[in-house]
């Protein structure tokens, strides 16, 4: 049985979904296409065909959408990309934009 407090709480509490962020990889003249495909598979969990399609989009349009995530997950994905790129001597960059 609901108490007066429970009813008041239900009426005042409004749940909101967290904001979502699009993560993009940016084109550059130095990062190999194979490395970009590898990043898309390992960091963003894309299959080979999807990774190849996104890599070509990055190459042709200067950026490609890798996924849409909550802020913390998007931030983590970007950090993983930058670390792997730096460790392999590539200047690959990832950015996020609010959806």
- Category of 22 on φ-ψ map: left (φ > 0), alpha (ψ -120 to 50) or beta: beta
8-state DSSP, 31: S
Instruction: Please state the rounded mean pLDDT for residues 61-84.
Output: 98
Q: Is residue 7 part of a domain?
A: no
The domain in which residue 31 lies consists of 14-98
Q: Is residue 21 part of a domain?
A: yes
Q: Is residue 6 part of a domain?
A: no
The total of structural domains in the chain comes to: 1
**pLDDT value of residue 16:** 85
pLDDT at 83 over 80: yes
**pLDDT value of residue 10:** 59
Residue 98 vs residue 2, higher pLDDT:
98
């Amino acid at each position: 049985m609901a108490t007066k407090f429970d009813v008041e709480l239900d009426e005042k509490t409004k749940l909101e979904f967290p904001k979502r962020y699009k993560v993009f990889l940016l084109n550059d003249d130095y990062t190999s296409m194979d490395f970009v495909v590898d990043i898309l598979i390992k960091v963003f969990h894309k299959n080979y065909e999807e990774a190849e399609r996104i890599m070509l989009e990055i190459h042709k349009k200067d950026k490609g959408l890798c996924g849409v995530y909550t802020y913390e997950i998007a931030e983590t994905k970007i950090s993983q990309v930058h670390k792997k790129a730096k460790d392999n001597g590539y200047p690959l960059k990832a950015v996020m934009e609010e959806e």
